[in-house]
Structure 1
Amino acid sequence: MKQYYHIHDETMYMLSVENKGLTETRIGELFGSESTACIATPNKIMERNCKQYSQSYPARKELTKKLTGLSAKVPVIIDLFGSIIFFCTHSDRVNENNWFNIKHIHSYRNYNGNTRVRFNNNEEIEVDISFTSFNNQYLNALKLHYKFNLEKEKYEYNEMAKYKNNSAGYHMDGAGDKVSDVSYKAYLQHLSDSKRHKVDRIT
């Protein structure tokens, strides 16, 4: 059993499980034949991975609130580029919370008052949450994905416009790579500025 788990693009879900009075995690991966066990809770795994990828978990939640207006049981973007988005089934104040990667959910349906989830690898699990609640959380994650990418495209467009204006009349090999690099650095700066402004408001 692992003490720590690194979330990656093929991580499908993190489910809370009880083991001798302790809450641990069962993790499913897209190409894994068996689930992985970790002694940490799903919430702790999420917190550590957010910090490892980019920013703290509270900062990730704040970004979601800013983009979507959501304030409870918010989905979070783990990486910098919005390719790994997880949503939860319960409040992150309780250990019995579960997390799902929106990218790998194929479908879900009502199942005896709970929700039956099917993933892209055809694995199915039953989750102790109503269909209505699960559907709401899934749609919130879709909203975050949409809003994040709109914001990202806006910054990339502005930086490309600046680059084209600055390089007007010149021919440069590898210009596309330079634009991508400028966009990337500008976006990182935007995240850094947002975090600093939040600290300034608190202090």
Structure 2
Amino acid sequence: MNRLQYQIHEETMYIVSVNNNGSIESRIGETYGDSLGCRLNPNKVIEKNCRKHSQNYIARKDLTKSLTNITSKIPVIVDLFGAYIYFCTNSDRVQENNWFNIKHVQAYWDNNGMTRIQFSNNEELEVDISYSSFNNQYLNALKLHYRFNQQKEKYQKKEMGMHFQYPALGRGESAQINETIYHSYINYINGLQSRGGV
């Protein structure tokens, strides 16, 4: 039987929508074991988990907007510390949405107009979104991660009154992020900055 709620944790990789006799519910993948069912749709799972971490979903979206200027299909930091960053495939006005934990996305590629994703445990999942759209959403989530950690570093330097070097993206808690995509993103951001776009 599907559970009535779900608490996102370190091993949560994705929350995707499933149609159960006309009702949109969630299938949740974790790094170990079979996927789980939840009667809430994916957007509701994200919203409820934001509240569990002392912020509502709207506040999490506003944080992303203020850090990145992203205004569509907004990625969110579910917790207060930046450990759980999720990006979506559709607008949050659509119940049939899918959310992915950026740190567990190991690789992705085009598969006949859809996108096939490989996760940190080597599980693969195909979603009905073009590669270019998925790639854009992934890069937006990386931008959020990058900007959030810039702000965190500034705050920690100020609070500690000494030099603090935040670990490079792709190490520590973000070890699963694909290095090649990350470096492509940094080049992308640097290009935008040189044109005054960021």
Q: Same fold (TM over 0.5)?
A: yes
1:28 is matched with which residue?
29
Aligned counterparts of 1:160 and 1:5: Cα–Cα separation in 2: 36
Contact 1:54 1:78 in 2 (8 A): no
Distance in 1, matches of 2:39 and 2:78, equals 21
CA distance in 1, matches of 2:111, 2:88: 19
Superposed, 1:12-161 pairs within 5 Å as: 12-31=13-32, 33-161=33-161
Letter in 1 for 2:139: L
- The amino acid of 1:18's aligned partner reads N
Task: Return the alpha-carbon distance in structure 2 between the equivalents of residues 23 and 69 of structure 1.
Answer: 30
Residues in 2 aligned to 1:74 and 1:148: alpha-carbon distance in whole angstroms: 14
1:11 lines up with 2:12 in the alignment: yes
Mapped partners of 2:67, 2:97: distance in 1? 23
> CA–CA distance in 1 between the matches of 2:16 and 2:78?
17
TM-score (norm 2): 0.80
Q: What per-residue deviation string (whole Å, max 9, x for no partner) do you get for residues 160-199 of structure 1?
A: 11xx7xxxxxxxxxxxxxxxxxxxxxxxxxxxxxxxxxxx
- Give 4+ residue runs of structure 1 displaced > 6 Å after superposition: none
CA distance in 2, matches of 1:140, 1:120: 20
Amino acid at match of 2:11: E
* Contact 1:108-1:118 within 8 A present in 2 as well: yes
- 1:15-61 CA-to-partner distances (Å, cap 9, x unmatched) read 00001110000000012x21000010000011000011130000000
TM-align CA RMSD? 0.8
Question: Secondary structure at 2:107's aligned position in 1?
Answer: strand
**1:122-201 aligned within 5 A:** 122-161=122-161
- Aligned partners of 1:108 and 1:155: how far apart in 2? 34
Q: What's the CA shift string for 1:76-95, capped at 9, x where partnerless?
A: 00111101100000000010
Which of these two proteins has the greater Rg computed from alpha carbons?
A: 1
Any idea what SS the aligned residue of 1:110 has? strand
Q: Residues 93-128 of structure 1, C-alpha deviation per residue, up to 9 Å, x if partnerless?
A: 010000000000110000010000000100001000
Alpha-carbon distance in structure 1 between the residues aligned to 2:54 and 2:68: 20
Structure 2 residue matching 1:15: 3-state secondary structure: strand
Query: Which amino acid is 1:116 matched to?
Result: R
Partner residue of 2:179?
none
